[in-house]
Amino acid sequence: MSDAGDAPQKPAAEQPAPHHRNYRFLILFAAALVLIAIAVSIYHFTVGRYYVKTKDAYVDGDLVRLTPQVSGTVTAITEDQTQSVRQGQLLVQLDPHDTEVSLAQAKANLAQTVRDVVQLFDQTERDAAAVASEQAQLTLAQQNLTRDQGLVRAHGVSQQDLERDQEAMRNAEAGVRQARAALSSTQAAITGTDPATHPRVLLAEANLRSAWLARNRTRVLAPISGYIVKRTVQLGEQVNPATQMLAIAPLDSVWIDANFKETQLEEVRIGQPVTVTADLYGSSVKYHGTVLGLTAGTGAALAVLPPENATGNWIKIVQRLPVRIGLKAQELRAHPLFLGLSTTVEIDIHDTSGASLSQRAVWPAQRHTDVYRSQDAGVDELVRSILEANLRKPQAAPPAAKATP
């Protein structure tokens, strides 16, 4: 038998050295890094440098905090949190009894005021007649005094009668002055007006309109269409114009506030196209919008308590500037976004011909509602009917027919 030690041995020079394998791996790894660096550089200079991106972006929008226009007690609540509401829809009903009593008082006050003013105009005619009467008395007293002055020389009348005529003359003159003063006073109260436009009547009309509005404002209506995101009012609660009852968010007009670093904003311009993805839907749903504007102040500068940098120890921190992004309405209808959701925003900065700040609005910022326009509907007809009923002078009763013998 052959011994195991007699087996032929492989020469040591034919076995691969371990350090050769390590060198090959390092060379391949370095080549891969170089290729990756070249690819990243090519992508950056051809594509990447024309886009700026941030994940510090959130959905924002209008939040209408609904408060009552008058004080009252809540008797009904028609909608609740998460439910949709339409513009003009009744949301909260307040107890109307107090306002109805005030409205009845205002109606009665207007009617009484109109009657008083009509009497004031009639008083002018009576005062004018009183002036004419006193003037006639003065004329008679003057004639009597003139006649008796001629007779006293011929001893036709006594000195006592003459003094009595003089006293009557002075009383008549005083009566004329008093009547003229009363006429001037009543004329001053109605000069330049008629019973329907007298200031007292207009003030009573204004009080009636105010009471009418207060009665109608016990119905709290939705000023816009949207979704109730918060309800704090309760049945039986006593509310006033400072009480926040509901909060409504119109989700069809939300936008994105993207907080970009100040180093990313050099070439960001109004009107540039934007791609947005929301964490709620993931990258499969993309929104397309445009840059609406850049806020003229960083988040730190616009904070309630801005930082004080004039201190001994200072560290430079890259600031972020809010950029408002508008979205397409049809995409929002297909995939609604809710206030506060996190998003990722990417701006295409190929076109830098726009402006960073614009002198005119590039998107409609005006908000309006007409749900309160009809609150005074019908009050004009009510005022007109009260005026017509109380300005009409009563007809004189026909003279009684004489009985035939």
Burial group, residue 338, by CB count within 10 angstroms (0-12, 13-18, 19+): middle
pLDDT value for 168 = 76
Count how many Cα atoms sit within 13 Å of the Cα of residue 359 in the half-sphere of its side chain: 0
pLDDT value for 55 = 95
Q: At what angle do helices 379-391 and 97-153 cross, to 10 degrees?
A: 30
pLDDT value for 152 = 61
Instruction: Provide CB contacts within 8 A for 67, sequence distance 6+.
Output: 241, 242, 243, 244, 245
pLDDT value for 405 = 38
User: Would you give per-residue pLDDT tens digits along the chain (405 residues)?
Assistant: 445 455 555 555 555 555 666 677 777 778 888 788 877 776 666 655 778 999 999 999 999 999 999 999 999 999 999 999 999 999 999 999 999 999 999 999 999 999 988 888 777 777 777 777 777 777 777 776 676 666 666 666 666 766 676 777 778 778 778 777 877 777 666 777 888 888 899 999 999 999 999 999 999 999 999 999 999 999 999 999 999 999 999 998 899 999 999 999 989 999 999 999 999 999 999 999 999 999 888 877 887 777 777 666 777 888 899 999 999 999 999 999 999 999 999 999 888 888 888 877 777 777 888 899 888 899 999 999 999 988 866 555 555 544 443
pLDDT value for 401 = 47
Identify the three-state secondary structure at position 344: strand
In one letter, which amino acid is 342?
Answer: S
For residue 17, count other CB atoms closer than 10 A to its CB.
9
Q: How many Å apart are CA 208 and CA 202, to the nearest integer? A: 10
Say whether pTM exceeds 0.85.
no
